[in-house]
Structure 1
């Protein structure tokens, strides 16, 4: 294996190794909402407040809460219009009101952010490195095989190498955006 191929393989393996390093978020956390503390367990799908445990469930655009006395409260979002419903034994004087518990769930949601796409990043990096390191073989595979005794111009090789550098930058950017 020549030096270029070895450099390519080592770079590829290093980037592959770096994409697997992510910390798992905690599934249990404390949320402060309206000056009250709630414990949210995402694995068990429960909210605990003052010793009372409320179970929640997401189903599409509907959130259903089950209270300690088996009463239920549900809220459905119809694209900006919200409808709520509850069973007869729902008691918002004894327990935390349903809209407050749903507020706790929404307060816990982190702001959406893009985490990048490592597969697309690796693909761009691989193609970019190949074009930057060996522009002749890249040119030959895309154009040269069509013609007998064809040779690329210096401009074609330079543009292939520049495209490779640009693809490398896009590959790095794809990891983070």
Structure 2
């Protein structure tokens, strides 16, 4: 029983750290003049930021935060490069989707996984669930049959909710 709880905690932690440490790598996009530029995208709490790097080292950025959006770049950036950078951002969005649509997928998936694992724990190990809930407060006590059934049914329901949240 203790091994099962440790296994579930380890799976949960590995999923959490995997989700939070994954980063978007730059994507290379060919613009209309034949040059290949690197487009970096960063999702932020209340917006997003694009950065386009040209082969000559010049950079352009566009940042959107709530209602305000602004762009700029390095001192050497030309007007033509700004237009090419906007073109690269448009192509990036065609490939990867529109950044203006807010995405809470990571937190949604995490919540779904957590609910599913908690529900699975209750469904498979109702005695352990009872112990974690109230049994640790009592000495030499055993759960009633009704408590075990309630924990199992509740665990199944929470696991189902977790599946629907994940989807």
Q: Which TM-score applies when normalising by structure 1?
A: 0.52
The equivalent position to 1:101 in structure 2, one of 82, 85, 92, is 85
Bigger radius of gyration: 1
Bigger shift: 35-44 or 160-169?
35-44
Contact 1:12 / 1:126 at 8 angstroms: preserved in 2?
no
- SS of 1:46 mapped into structure 2: strand
The equivalent position to 1:167 in structure 2, one of 154, 158, 163, is 158
Q: Does 1:65 align with 2:72?
A: yes
**Superposed counterparts of 1:40-59, under 5 Å:** 40-42=38-40, 45-48=51-54, 51=56, 53-59=58-64
Q: Which TM-score applies when normalising by structure 2?
A: 0.54
Give the CA RMSD over aligned residues.
4.2
Unaligned runs of 5+ in 2: 42-49, 138-142
How many pairs were matched up? 140
Unaligned runs of 5+ in 1: 72-91, 146-150
Contact 1:127 / 1:167 at 8 angstroms: preserved in 2?
yes
Q: 1:169 to 1:20 in 2, by over 3 A?
A: farther
For 2:76 and 2:132, the matched residues in 1 are separated by: 73
